[in-house]
């Protein structure tokens, strides 16, 4: 068995920033798997975005999120940057960062792993085409 670790960033004690999650890849005779979290509080969701739709521009106080693109055509907007991720590409969103997920055409799925206290009421919507801001 081979284990490859994406080393986490150092914790900044003055700002109490959580370290970046270490994603470990384990090789097996049949292939491999990636482990995104191990025995820590986290919430995992698969977000389904309909063709050419988008979520609100938002931020959270109490949690970081790791987004993983599962389909082509996803668009990540994070802290003012527009990212067109490849399938499998990961983007870390820190608590307080503005972010939005959308589809650039086809329906897309994104795996979201939230680290920290998870509460849907933690969402601060800054802009929303559905009138929820």
What percent of the chain is modeled with pLDDT above 70? Answer: 88
**Distance (Å) of CA 98 to CA 4, 13, 21, 29, 95:** 31, 23, 19, 41, 9
Please determine, for residue 5, whether its predicted confidence score (pLDDT) is greater than 90. Answer: no
Write the pLDDT tens digit of every residue in 34-66.
Answer: 998 888 889 999 999 999 999 999 999 999 999
The answer on pLDDT for 71 being more than 90 is yes
More confident residue, 78 or 9: 78
């Amino acid at each position: 068995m081979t284990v490859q670790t994406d080393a986490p960033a150092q914790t900044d004690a003055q700002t109490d920033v959580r370290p970046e999650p270490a994603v470990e890849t384990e090789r097996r005779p049949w292939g491999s798997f990636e482990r995104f979290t191990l025995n820590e509080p986290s919430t995992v969701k698969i977000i389904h975005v309909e063709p050419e739709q988008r979520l609100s521009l938002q931020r959270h106080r109490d949690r970081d999120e790791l987004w993983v693109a599962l389909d082509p055509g996803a668009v990540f907007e994070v802290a003012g940057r527009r990212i067109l991720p490849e399938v499998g590409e990961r983007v870390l969103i820190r608590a307080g960062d503005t972010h939005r997920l959308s589809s650039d055409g086809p329906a897309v799925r994104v795996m979201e792993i939230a680290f920290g206290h998870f509460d849907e009421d933690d969402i601060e919507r800054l802009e929303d085409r559905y009138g929820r801001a």
